[in-house]
């Protein structure tokens, strides 16, 4: 250990940024903190040169490296599996350049999504990707191809990455992509890195695409008597040329937990068309554009909502109220987690299959007795489920969870879906991925890993890596 420390001090000149004793447990885990790894050193890098130096050293000595952003992942992808070095990028968090003429911003990977969004919006610009966890880093968002709320209209993180500076496993510094809009100049290496969960290279600089900030954004909360009716109306909204930015669905049971957690109350009483029924599910939409465009979209969807059985229709013109309603949505994972251990699922199905899939989930839950709370990005088929442990002992929980997940994922693939829409595979989902994915697909992913990191030092044993 003394030798490792002495070697690392030659690369990282500040001993305060190298921890080799009593590494805080949070760095050995993910946001959930249940799976714990082990490491010989935790390093807080502050420059590309330091990242390169650490990787050159690790490469030479075949030492495992786990890159880490803000550690908010939910799948164990920052749990060091093979010891070695945790390479924390959170202190590389500067904004390097705002180029308003090319609509790009260049940042270091450790900047938090929240800080980037605030910075560009204060200048009349907009970074559309909007995953629920605003304290995630941009490097982490890129490494998981984070999705989030606004994917329906704007797409996912991948769509906003113009270029990256990388350090490959052997310490080579390389740039992939540029500020240019178009690029047919050889293989798109950038796209291999996006969503690779830190298995192929470490991101040290990010050139991101921006758009002008929309003039107005307004959200609408629509209560429904049941989940089926709510989800059933989503396709109608999408077809209505109303161009929603976000379309989220939530069951009443999970909203109740979110309300308690965030201290905000959702309206659940019968509205104008309520006919005495109470809300059992909600669709939360948002629209953006000029004020008049937004007003038209809100009205177009109002008619469709009532035609499709909504109990009420609540445009949230007051930004404070809208922020409170969204705060409940943003808090759902943490709200469920506060009540019971749970396994968060983020599978994705074709949008026209969402309703059928949720029905399958409810049937499975009734049959197996395993509580499954559903919410998610209804507009893009990204179903979030919290599979709730309740008072099961460890052995029963592991066994029953595995049986339920096997059924869930098998059905997901049957209807054309995928195991992860945005969280990644990490260590939690790789078993099911290997079971369901096309073997040729898995094989080529592993060949790419072997080509870029033949010694398997970067984030080995997670995700698709056999
Ligand atoms: C309450 C809550 C809500 C969430 N909502 C969403 C959501 O709506 N949509 C969504 O997509 N996700 C969501 N997440 C999951 C999580 O926030 C995302 O996966 C996020 O992108 C992770 O970013 P991070 O900085 O925390 O990365 P980390 O957790 O630190 O790392 C994630 C992965 O990226 C790798 N990595 C990190 N930085 C780098 C780098 N610079 N170079 C190479 N590899 C790197 C790590 O090795 C790891 O494999 C949510 C999480 C929570 C807790």
Domain extent listing, the chain: 2-88, 95-212, 216-333, 340-423
Whether the CB of 107 sits within 6 Å of ligand 1: no
Q: 3-class DSSP state for residue 259?
A: helix
pLDDT for 401 beyond 90: yes
Confidence band (pLDDT; 50, 70, 90) for 87? very high
Alpha-carbon Rg for the chain, nearest whole angstrom, is 23
Give the tokens for residue 91.
């202190």
Task: Answer yes or no: are the C-beta atoms of 460 and 77 closer than 8 Å.
Answer: no
Whether the CB of 37 sits within 6 Å of ligand 1: no
Pocket test for ligand 1, best of 143, 147, 205, 386 (most atoms within 8 A of CB): 143
pLDDT for 14 beyond 80: yes
Whether the CB of 84 sits within 6 Å of ligand 1: no
Give the domain 340-423 fold. Alpha-Beta Plaits (3.30.70)
At the second CATH level, the architecture of 216-333 is 2-Layer Sandwich (3.30)
pLDDT for 254 beyond 60: yes
pLDDT of residue 271: 56
Does the domain spanning 95-212 belong to CATH 3.20.20.70?
no
What does the pLDDT look like over 183-197, one tens digit per residue? 999 999 999 999 999
pLDDT for 269 beyond 60: no
Average pLDDT over residues 119-126: 98
Could you tell me which of 242, 247, 322, 349 has the C-alpha nearest to residue 289?
242
pLDDT for 273 beyond 80: no
Tell me the whole-structure pTM to 2 decimals.
Answer: 0.95
pLDDT of residue 277: 76
Q: Give the Å distance between the CA of 431 and the centre of ligand 1.
A: 20
pLDDT for 53 beyond 80: yes
pLDDT of residue 222: 96
pLDDT of residue 140: 98
Average pLDDT over residues 41-55: 98
> Which of ligand 1's atoms lies nearest the C-alpha of 377?
8
Confidence band (pLDDT; 50, 70, 90) for 373? confident
Could you tell me which of 209, 219, 204, 229 has the C-alpha nearest to residue 280?
229
pLDDT of residue 276: 66
What does the pLDDT look like over 313-366, one tens digit per residue? 999 999 999 999 999 998 888 888 888 999 999 999 999 898 899 889 999 999
Q: Please indicate whether the domains covering 95-212 and 340-423 agree at the CATH topology level.
A: no
Could you tell me which of 129, 136, 87 has the C-alpha nearest to residue 111?
136
Q: 3-class DSSP state for residue 216?
A: strand
Task: Answer yes or no: are the C-beta atoms of 314 and 219 closer than 8 Å.
Answer: no
Q: Are strands 65-68 and 85-88 parallel, antiparallel or unpaired?
A: parallel
Distance, C-alpha 99 to centroid of its chain: 27
Q: Which of residues 5 and 122 earns the better pLDDT score?
A: 122
Confidence band (pLDDT; 50, 70, 90) for 227? confident
Q: Give the Å distance between the CA of 144 and the centre of ligand 1.
A: 6
Give the domain 2-88 fold. 3.30.43
Q: 3-class DSSP state for residue 464?
A: coil
Instruction: In whole angstroms, give the CA distance from residue 71 to residue 76.
Output: 9
Q: Give the Å distance between the CA of 180 and the centre of ligand 1.
A: 26
Q: What's the chain's average pLDDT?
A: 94
Whether the CB of 76 sits within 6 Å of ligand 1: no
């Amino acid at each position: 250990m003394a030798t490792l420390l002495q070697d690392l001090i030659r690369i990282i000149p500040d001993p305060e940024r190298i921890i080799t004793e009593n590494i805080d447990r949070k760095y050995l885990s993910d946001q959930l903190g249940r799976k714990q790894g082990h490491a010989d050193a935790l390093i807080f890098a502050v420059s590309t040169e330091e990242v390169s130096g650490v990787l050159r050293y690790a490469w030479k000595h075949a030492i495992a490296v786990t890159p880490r952003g803000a550690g908010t992942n939910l799948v164990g992808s920052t749990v060091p599996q093979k010891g070695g070095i945790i390479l924390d990028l959170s202190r590389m968090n500067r904004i390097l350049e705002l180029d308003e003429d090319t609509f790009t911003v260049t940042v270091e990977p450790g900047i938090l999504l929240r800080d980037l969004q605030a910075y560009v919006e204060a200048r009349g610009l907009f970074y559309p990707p909007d995953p629920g966890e605003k304290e995630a880093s941009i490097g982490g968002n890129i490494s998981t191809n984070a999705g989030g709320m606004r994917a329906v209209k704007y797409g996912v993180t991948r769509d906003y990455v113009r270029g990256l500076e990388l350090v490959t496993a052997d310490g080579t510094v390389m740039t992939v992509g540029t500020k240019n809009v178009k690029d047919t100049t050889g293989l798109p290496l950038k796209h291999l890195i996006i969503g690779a969960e830190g298995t192929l290279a470490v991101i040290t600089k990010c050139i991101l695409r921006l758009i002008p900030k929309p003039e107005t954004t307004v959200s609408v909360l629509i209560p429904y008597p049941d989940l089926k009716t709510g989800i059933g109306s989503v396709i109608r909204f999408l077809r209505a040329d109303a161009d929603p930015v976000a379309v989220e669905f939530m069951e009443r049971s999970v909203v109740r937990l979110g309300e308690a957690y965030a201290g905000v109350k959702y309206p659940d009483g019968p509205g104008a068309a309520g006919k005495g029924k109470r809300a059992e599910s909600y669709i939360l939409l948002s629209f953006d554009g000029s004020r008049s465009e937004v007003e038209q979209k809100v009205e177009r969807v109002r008619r469709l909502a009532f035609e499709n059985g909504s109990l009420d229709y609540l445009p949230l013109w007051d930004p404070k109220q809208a922020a409170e309603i969204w705060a409940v949505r943003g808090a759902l994972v943490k709200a469920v987690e506060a009540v019971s251990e749970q396994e968060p699922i983020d599978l994705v199905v074709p949008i026209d299959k969402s309703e059928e899939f949720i029905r399958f989930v409810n049937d499975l839950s009734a049959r197996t007795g395993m509580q499954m709370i559903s919410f998610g990005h209804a507009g893009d088929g990204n179903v979030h489920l919290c599979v709730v442990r309740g008072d099961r002992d460890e052995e029963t929980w592991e066994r029953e969870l595995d049986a339920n997940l096997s059924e869930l994922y098998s059905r997901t693939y049957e209807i054309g879906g995928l195991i992860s829409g945005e969280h990644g595979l990490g260590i939690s989902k790789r078993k099911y991925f290997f079971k369901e994915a096309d073997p040729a697909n898995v094989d080529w992913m592993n060949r790419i890993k072997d080509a870029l990191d033949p010694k398997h030092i970067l984030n080995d044993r997670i995700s698709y890596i056999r």
